[in-house]
């Protein structure tokens, strides 16, 4: 595999990329594929859509949106853990982020 583009992607998107090239994977890439299968919480299209929606509607950067999609936080305090101390966001915005994520949540 070669690098075509460098940007943050979700675990689900990584799973799709690796699955498409499953025949060509080296042992490390196969282990990464196993990880993505085990830990992705959405399908790749939903993950991509949710990432874009968080970036546009909640106005958060791509890296943060990807982290949230990977973890699918269920509460406002969980969302706050992604923000750290560097960013203060209004409670309304945090609830908006949670509402957007809840629309994509798949019950396990």
Lowest mean pLDDT among 4-8, 18-22, 72-76: 4-8
Q: Which long-range CB contacts under 8 A does 82-85 form with residues at least 24 apart?
A: none
The pLDDT tens digits of the residues spanning 20-34 come to 999 999 999 999 999
Asked if residue 66 lies in contact with residue 8, where contact means CB atoms within 8 angstroms, the answer is yes
pLDDT exceeding 70 applies to what percent of the chain?
Answer: 94
| Dihedral class, residue 60 (left if φ above 0, else alpha if ψ from -120 to 50, else beta) | beta
pLDDT in the model for residue 4: 79
Confidence category of residue 86, pLDDT binned at 50, 70, 90: low
- The three-point CA angle 96-61-29 to 5° equals 110
Q: What percent of the chain has pLDDT over 90?
A: 77
Query: Which pair of tokens denotes residue 5?
Result: 């583009």
Looking at residue 107, what is its pLDDT?
Answer: 61
Domains in the chain (CATH in brackets) are 44-104 (1.10.150)
Could you tell me the pLDDT band of residue 45, with boundaries at 50, 70 and 90? very high
């Amino acid at each position: 595999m070669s690098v075509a583009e460098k940007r943050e992607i979700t675990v689900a998107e990584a799973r799709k990329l690796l699955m498409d090239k499953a025949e060509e994977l080296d042992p490390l890439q196969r282990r990464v594929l196993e990880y993505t299968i085990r830990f992705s919480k959405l399908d790749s299209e939903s993950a991509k859509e949710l990432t874009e929606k968080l970036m546009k509607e909640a106005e958060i950067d791509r890296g943060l949106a990807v982290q949230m999609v990977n973890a699918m936080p269920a509460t406002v305090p969980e969302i706050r853990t992604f923000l750290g101390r560097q960013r203060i966001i209004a409670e309304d915005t945090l609830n908006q982020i949670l509402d957007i994520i809840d629309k994509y949540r798949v019950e396990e």
